[in-house]
Amino acid sequence: MKSHTEYLWMNTPRRKELVHITPLLDEILERSGISDGFMLVSAMHITSGIIVNDNESGLHKDIMEWLERLAPEDPSYQHHLTGEDNGDAHLKRILVHHQAVIPVTDGKLDLGPWERVFYAEFDGQRRKRVVVKVIGI
């Protein structure tokens, strides 16, 4: 068993967006030399997450609108009493989770036919990290 760790640095131009990272993960997997195991992809910030879903712009818009309905921007969040203005971003991150584990088979990410991996940003426009750890043989 071996492991390989790399970090992706994200800095989105918009405060809220989904960033397709599957090609970057493919490159990391290739560098790892691991052909069978798992890849952990974990957003290392409390206002961002990782989503595995379809790479379709209408769905992306639906996801962001759905999250906004469930955790809307709202100045009355208790968190804002600390001087912050991103209470909704913390709640959105809870809804999408902070990480995903993806199987690796025959040296490839073992995703479904339409599955792709996205970094989900809810309080962007600043530098944040994603850890990618591949474990296997």
Query: Please, what is the average pLDDT of the chain?
Result: 97
CB-count exposure of residue 44 (10 Å: 0-12, 13-18, 19+): middle
Residue 12 is predicted with a pLDDT of 97
Of 112, 92, 10, nearest in space to 49 by CA: 92
Predicted local distance difference test score (pLDDT) of residue 47: 98
pLDDT, tens only, 103-132:
999 999 999 999 999 999 999 999 999 999
Structural domains in the chain plus CATH codes:
17-75+83-121 (2.60.120.460)
Residue 61's pLDDT band (cuts 50, 70, 90) = very high
pLDDT band at 45, cuts 50/70/90?
very high
